[in-house]
Amino acid sequence: MSLEWSVWGELILGAFTFLMAGAIFLMDLTDNIWINYLFFFVFKTVYMQLSTICTFQIAEMLNRQRYALVLGMNSFVGTILQSVLTAVVISSRSLHLTIISQFAIYASYFAAISLLFTARGVYTVLHTKRSAGGNQEERATNLPEASHL
């Protein structure tokens, strides 16, 4: 499927990140282990797919000599941020959160990320549509008149 990722990518990330937030939130609400496994499967599947797509989109714009540096730094910074968030949320010395509230925090985190992606995606789509519409009007007024024979 061909898709203009520079235009629609952030909206897609926003929608799927919202799906991930919903899966975590539903895991928070249920006590049934099988339903939790189902929602975890949904979360992990979407997460891995988005991770792969994002890595591909970044790699597509890079020179081959920069793959290791850029993708390695992305992985390193992502691991650091994930470790800090995990340490803050699960630390028994800082927040004293229950397991249920930890799920709520992670769901809220993904919902906030989803809102950021969606807001940026809507701005990008509207800006692209407005620019394309302006260019079409400009082209229509700048066309040379047909010569009459």
* Domain that residue 16 falls in: 5-140
pLDDT value at position 1? 60
In this structure, is residue 149 part of a structural domain?
no
The structure tokens listed for 84 are 């800090």
In this structure, is residue 145 part of a structural domain?
no
In this structure, is residue 64 part of a structural domain?
yes
Average pLDDT, 10 consecutive residues per value, the chain (149 residues): 77 93 94 94 94 85 84 91 86 78 90 95 89 60 45
Task: Give the whole-angstrom CA distance, residue 47 versus residue 141.
Answer: 47
Integer-rounded Cα Rg, in Å, for the chain is: 22
Asked if 44 contacts 18 with a C-beta cutoff of 8 angstroms, the reply is no
In this structure, is residue 42 part of a structural domain?
yes
CA neighbor of 24 nearest in space, from 111, 113, 119 = 111
Is the alpha carbon torsion for 94, 95, 96, 102 positive or negative? Answer: negative
In this structure, is residue 146 part of a structural domain?
no
How much is the pTM? Answer: 0.76
In this structure, is residue 14 part of a structural domain?
yes
Domain count, the chain: 1
In this structure, is residue 147 part of a structural domain?
no
